[in-house]
Amino acid sequence: MLSPREYEVLRELAEDRTDRQIATRLGISERTVRAHVSQIIHKLGVASRVGAAVAFWRNRQ
């Protein structure tokens, strides 16, 4: 469902990192992070970053 890169972004997002922190850690631009987050939210059918993080942690258990 999620691409490998989207999954990496989601994992970082679930650790409560900012777009800037995610971009730095993954070596991509903040704009690219925002694009990935938008796609993640759409693909997971959630309303926000928080919803995406909750979905990540629920699926990890």
SS3 2: coil
Report the distance separating Cα 59 and Cα 27, nearest Å: 26
pLDDT digits (tens, 9 = 90+) for 5-58: 999 999 999 999 999 999 999 999 999 999 999 999 999 999 999 999 999 999
pLDDT of res. 45 = 97
**Exposure of 9 in the CB half-sphere (CA atoms within 13 A):** 25
The pTM (predicted TM-score) of the whole model is 0.94
Domains and CATH numbers, the chain: 4-60 (1.10.10.10)
